[in-house]
Amino acid sequence: MSDQLSWVLPTVILGIVEGLTEFLPVSSTGHLILAGEWLGYTGPQAATFEIFIQLGAVLAVVWHYRDKLWQVGRSAGGQGGREFILPLFVAFLPAAIIGLLIHDWIKEVLFSPLVVAGALVVGGLLILVIERIHPADRITDGARMPLRTALGIGFAQVLSLIPGTSRSATTILGGYLLGCSRQAATEFSFYLAIPVLGAATLYDLYKSRALLDAGDLLMFGVGTVVAFVTALVVIRGFLRYVSGHDFRIFAWYRIAFGGLLLWYYWP
């Protein structure tokens, strides 16, 4: 019985890691790769699992913003609906196109602890630089993002294809550099997670379908549920945090953790 349920603890741990890190500027993919290494869960199926459970984080965003999304859905053809949907579509395109072109190369070459460690450190240093610049706030509503700003955020998000960089970090800080308030940039990053993570999950699941069988459904389902619950708590707490704090604490965490990993994994 214990052998049959040996997957439960790693699945729950990875689900918690995904939920804790997906929306913080610390890289969920990077932390999942490292957690998988430490748990002994690696390989193509593990990479697919780590991407699939992002669906739990997506559903957490949908649930948190359900009233807003319902209103948008009811007025999708009206001005309010277009003002919300079109910037998300524009921001979605750069990473979607480039990700499709180099998806397999990323999984084969970049899913490694050393890449994650280096990206964590570099990303932390960039956060400190951006906070020092502290651009003036021009945009305060994440649901009404100007198209030019949305496109800039979309190109910033391309950097998140490197494991350890963080999709949240690139989109939030990209928006911050382009004149968004921390709150607006964070909210837009959450909205953008719905199409980006949803598409990445479905695409990777399709590409990896030969690696999976019916016996994997329970494991993937448990991981997704755990990620959903954890991410919902993090979303609410992070929105409260950014209303009165900057991102320096995440920068120092990235630098310290990434430096430790570089020391540990360096050949």
How many Å apart are CA 84 and CA 145, to the nearest integer?
7
CA distance 154 to 104: 21
Give the Cα separation of 61 and 80 in Å (integer). Answer: 20
Q: Work out the average pLDDT over 165-183.
A: 92
Q: What is the pLDDT of residues 112-152, one digit of tens each?
A: 888 989 999 999 999 999 998 877 889 988 888 999 999 99
Cα separation, 33 vs 60, whole angstroms:
22
Q: What is the pTM of this model?
A: 0.86
Cα Rg of the chain, angstroms: 18
Tell me the pLDDT band of 1, cut-offs 50, 70 and 90.
very low
What pLDDT is stored for residue 34 in this prediction?
86
Cα 197 to the center of its chain, rounded Å: 7
> In the block, which residue shows the tokens 């009404």?
144
